[in-house]
Amino acid sequence: MKFIVGLICIFFSIKAFPESIYYKVVAQDGSGDYLTIQEAVNSVLVYQEQRSVIKVKPGIYREKLVIPAAWCNISLIGDDPVNTIISYDDNANKNNMGTFSSYTVLVHGDGIRLENLTIENASQMQGQAVALHLEGTESVIINCRLLGNQDTVFTGNKYGRFYFYNTYIEGTTDFIFGPATCWFEHCVIHSKADSYITAASTPASHLFGYIFNECKLTGKDNLEVYLGRPWREAAYTLFMNCYLGKHIRPEGWHNWGNPQNEQTARYLEYNNRGEGADISRRVSWAKVLTRDEADRIKIDVVFPDLKEWSSYYSGK
């Protein structure tokens, strides 16, 4: 508990470390330095080791935003996720672009911090449609809303490490998917249809994949939603200390139509609550952690160098 309290205090400190050397404002009314977020990102010098801060004023920014690999250590900080929105409407079926080109925001750079923003794929129910596509590594997403339907959030780098805090994520099918190692803390995970929340593709060599701690899983009571299905055979997903609503199916997990996945998928639960947390009818191949096992899965174990990430500090 002391660690979590300390973590929260540091996250919302106004002290920057390392100190930001670049500060620009994006405003659609012309009162800032740039009219679009992409222009502001492009203005940052490549391979910066110190943090660059881009403040995004309220507005709906219809952009397909890309932060390339050479653009590192950037903070995009909105005014409020309710009124600072990045929205686009591509989907996998449009011009046969496929899932991985359907993003609204694509992050290739390392050390990116996204804060107080809504990132939306507004294509509605027209196929796979990614809102946030994360490559790179050591990125932090704070107090954001990630909106979409199928495939809302893609954590695409198998060596990527991403931290989500106090963020709302919604979708229909496999709306959090990919191979990266991710820690979700105090997030709301909202299901909009009978389907699957996660589709992890964790490499077998990785100790951890998706970890949801102190999160809230919501959806209409009449929905029937699985916690996850394995996109690849060694998928790792853990829900611990979470609230699971009535919409979570009693069996909890799905094998993606392949019984062999039951031998290799790493599906775990611990100390959850709510009507969907009843483990008495869970699939036999999922595991409930003991207290000792759960105590060994802490954020400072999964990300022992988290405080050294440049994105850990706001740069404000």
265 vs 270: CA distance, rounded Å: 17
84 vs 57: CA distance, rounded Å: 7
DSSP code, position 54: E
Instruction: Give the residue carrying structure tokens 């946030």.
Output: 132
Q: Which of 174, 221, 278, 295 is catalytic?
A: 174
Tokens linked to 75: 């903070």
Tokens linked to 37: 């977020």
Tokens linked to 169: 């994520």
Distances (CA, A) of 7 to 2, 75, 93, 258: 8, 18, 42, 40
User: Which residues neighbour 104 within 8 Å (Cβ) at sequence distance 6 or greater?
Assistant: 63, 64, 65, 86, 87, 88, 90, 119, 120, 121, 130, 131, 132
Number of alpha carbons in the 13 Å side-chain half-sphere of residue 175: 31
245 vs 50: CA distance, rounded Å: 42
Distances (CA, A) of 94 to 89, 101, 102: 9, 10, 8
Alpha-carbon torsion (45, 47, 48, 51), positive or negative: positive
Instruction: Give the residue carrying structure tokens 């995004």.
Output: 56
Task: Report the amino acid identity of residue 10.
Answer: I
174 catalytically annotated: yes
- Helix/strand/coil for 41: helix
Residues marked active site are found at 174
